[in-house]
Chains A and B, each alone.
Chain A
Amino acid sequence: MLVTESERMRDELAALARRYGRQRSALLPMLQAVQRRHGRITPTAMQVIADLLGIHPVEVYGVVSFYSFLSAKPQGRFVIRLCRTISCDLAGREQIARQLENDLGIAFGETTADGMFTLQWANCLGMCDQGPALLVNERVFTRLTPEMVHGIIEECRALFGVHATQAAEEHVV
């Protein structure tokens, strides 16, 4: 039986709407749930969500495009966010940045061809006393050295097939 991506998305979103409600304040939790599961928010998802909440698709797009952690474009399985704010900067984030680019073979803002890693800048992760720091999805790594970069990337690869943050599933609110 042919189940299209859009049908699957519709079912998933209907379930999210049952959980979070259909008022506009459900928008961010719904988008975050979709982002977690799919790594992006597709045009179909945006339109279905808009329909469920009684708003316009362009408003959903406006919200997605505003927040750094939401993306309309596909992202890698692992999103690496390196802090570039002053304390991490003073602690040597430039070196870490170069090493990440070297080891991944991409520049900041890009995604590896195998769809595994997206490399992005982040602003102050709140680890200023132990920088440089980065996030891989929801995990934080601190006191980075260029030597550590390789290990972090390999650890992620080893988790391929299991989402890196699949410690607990969705948190019931």
Chain B
Amino acid sequence: MKVKSAHEGPLTFARMEPEAGLQAALRKSRADVIAEISRSGLKGRGGAGFPTGVKWNLAAAARGERKFVVCNADEGEPGTFKDRVILSDYADLVCEGMTIAGYAIGARQGIIYLRGEYAYLRPHLEGVLAERRRKNLLGSGVLGKEGFQFDIEIRMGAGAYVCGEETALIESLEGHRGEPRNRPPFPVDTGFNRQPTIVNNVETLAWAACILARGAEWFKGFGTEKSAGLKLFSVSGDCQRPGVYEFPLGITIAELLKEVGGEEAKAVQIGGAAGQCVPRSGFQRRIAFEDVATGGSVIVFGPQRDMLHVARNFLEFFCEESCGQCTPCRAGNPKLLEGVELLEQGRCSTAYLRELIGLGETMQLASKCGLGQSSPNAFLSIVEHFRHEIMGRAPQAVRG
């Protein structure tokens, strides 16, 4: 597995001094820690892009006897594997970030929610935690800080993509079906066991540790105004050099494709199954929260790829992973998939295709959570940009 960076040398995470961030944080007040994160402009690296400083601030201000820091390691977005790499190679940095977060919001308990598919990482992570406890980086009086105790436990997922959604994750922790909650209220106010809880992506927590070590200004030096900092990308598909990359946010798709050896691409899926399918005509677009955002997943489609097949694959994914709670997602995704099947057989009228586009738009607006709200994205963008390729097909045997 190749890990590359836009800069010379290894990833930023590899060049961080251990516990530098935590030490810096514990020398500050809790409010100053949060202020540093806010100033840095760090936004969630899992895909949603919520400003981390705002989240930590809300949780810090919320009233609750026991607050929680949850590391969302339920990396399930198709094409995303950067968290796996971070947890394999930089778990200490993630734990450092969690501890800093715990200090900032006043939590004593951290939970790593690790997806079931990554169970083989658990022994390694337990080892990291045990070592940190030995070194007084976890437990009571962390690094000698009076009154600050923080520990981390690992809880396993059990094979449900929807549990990457923060309220579904919390439901799962509480022993329920992973069905997202009504929001508001949000986890920062009412989360795990009704206590204020922050749920942050693995990478976000690692960057938080880096920011406390190097400072908000350092972080803001990368990226764009609305999308500060560096980001890890997991690149796969039809390219010469798939793997994990580190780029500043704001990089154009074309620049990325050059780095990974995918300049021939017909289309690129930015943001996984829940993301957008960008055709060649859009390759000058920037990968950033203000343009085309991603939690890291970049899938390259070569010129020979059948985009309808891609749409089918993504919709099958969502039909399988939808929690089933709300009508638009539960019943809408199968309808979109059925539409793809009709297109494959050349039996979808233009009128019905318009209905499906309308349905997709409703799903984006009326679904209860981000899964349903983003599941039509791929279909809608493929229908928009590859209309010529998907319409009027000759009937063929349906591929499984």
Q: Do A and B come from one complex?
A: yes
The answer for the CA separation of A171 and B128 in the assembled complex, in Å, is: 13
Chain B residues lying within 8 Å of A168, measured Cβ to Cβ, are 123
A124 touches B236 (CB 8 A): no
Asked whether A123 lies within 8 Å of B236 as measured between CB atoms, the reply is no
Chain A residues within an 8 Å CB radius of B236: 87, 128-129, 131
State the CA gap A164–B153 with chains docked (Å). Answer: 25
Is A161 close to B, CB under 8 A? no
Residue ID in chain A nearest B2 by CB atoms:
A129
The contact of A85 among B159, B174, B313, by CB within 8 Å, is B313
Chain B 255-280, CB-CB to A under 8 Å as 1, else 0, gives: 00000000000000100010000000
From residue A112, how far is it (CB to closest CB) to chain B in Å?
A: 21
- On whether the beta carbons of B299 and A87 are closer than 8 Å, the reply is yes
Question: How near does chain B come to A126, taking the closest CB pair, in angstroms?
Answer: 4
**Are A89 and B177 in touch, CB under 8 angstroms?**
no
Q: Is A45 part of the binding interface, using a Cβ–Cβ cutoff of 8 Å?
A: no
B158 partner, pick from A67, A89, A127, A165, beta carbons under 8 A: A67
| Minimal Cβ-Cβ distance residue in B for A168 | B123
Given contact pairs A89-B313, A90-B238, A131-B236, A66 touches B1 in the complex (Cβ within 8 A)? no
Q: In the complex, which residues of chain A have a beta carbon less than 8 angstroms from the beta carbon of B176?
A: 24, 63
Q: Which of A29, A53, A130 contacts B155 (CB 8 A)?
A: A29
Within 8 A of B (CB), among A135-153: 135, 138-140
State how many angstroms separate the Cβ of B375 from the closest Cβ of chain A: 13
Which chain A residues border B76 with CB–CB below 8 Å?
A: 123-124, 126
In the bound complex, what is the Cα–Cα distance between A115 and B214 (angstroms)?
A: 55
**Residues from chain B with Cβ under 8 Å of A130 in the complex:** 1, 242
Q: Which residue of B lies closest to A36 (CB)?
A: B119
Answer whether A28 and B243 are a contact pair too, CB < 8 Å, given A67-B159, A68-B159, A69-B159.
Answer: no
List which A1-47 residues lie within 8 A (CB) of chain B.
Answer: 23-29, 31-32
Chain A nearest CB: distance from B156 CB in Å?
A: 6
State whether B175 touches A124 (Cβ < 8 A). Answer: no
What B residues does A173 contact at CB under 8 A? 153-154
A167 within 8 A of B: yes
Check A53/B78 contact, CB under 8 A, given A171-B122, A171-B154: no
Least CB distance from A98 to B in Å reads 10
A60 to chain B: closest CB distance in Å? 9
What secondary structure prevails in chain B residues at the interface with A? mixed
Closest residue of chain B to A59, judged by CB? B176
A128 touches B175 (CB 8 A): no
Q: Give the residues in chain B near A86, CB-CB below 8 Å.
A: 78-79, 237, 269, 273, 299, 310, 313-314
Q: Does B160 sit within 8 A of A, measured CB to CB?
A: yes
Closest A-chain residue to B122, C-beta based? A171
Asked if B156 contacts A87 (CB within 8 A), the reply is no
Q: Which of B193, B316, B321, B323 has the most CB of A within 10 A?
A: B316
B310 neighbours in A (Cβ, 8 Å): 86
Chain A residues with CB under 8 Å of B222's CB are none
A139 to chain B, nearest CB (A): 6
Residues of B within 8 A of A122 (CB): 117, 159
Q: Which residue of B lies closest to A138 (CB)?
A: B119
In the assembled complex, the Cα of A4 lies from the Cα of B115 at a distance in Å of 34
The residues of A with any CB-CB pair to B shorter than 8 Å are 23-29, 31-32, 53, 62-63, 66-70, 81, 84-87, 89-90, 94, 122-131, 135, 138-140, 165, 167-168, 171, 173
14 other contacts beyond A67-B159, A128-B79, A129-B244, with CB at 8 A cut-off?
A: A25-B173, A27-B175, A31-B158, A66-B160, A69-B159, A86-B237, A89-B313, A90-B301, A124-B76, A127-B81, A128-B80, A128-B297, A138-B119, A168-B123
Can you list 10 A-B pairs with a CB-CB distance of less than 8 A? Answer: A28-B155, A28-B173, A68-B159, A69-B158, A85-B78, A87-B237, A122-B117, A125-B117, A129-B242, A171-B122
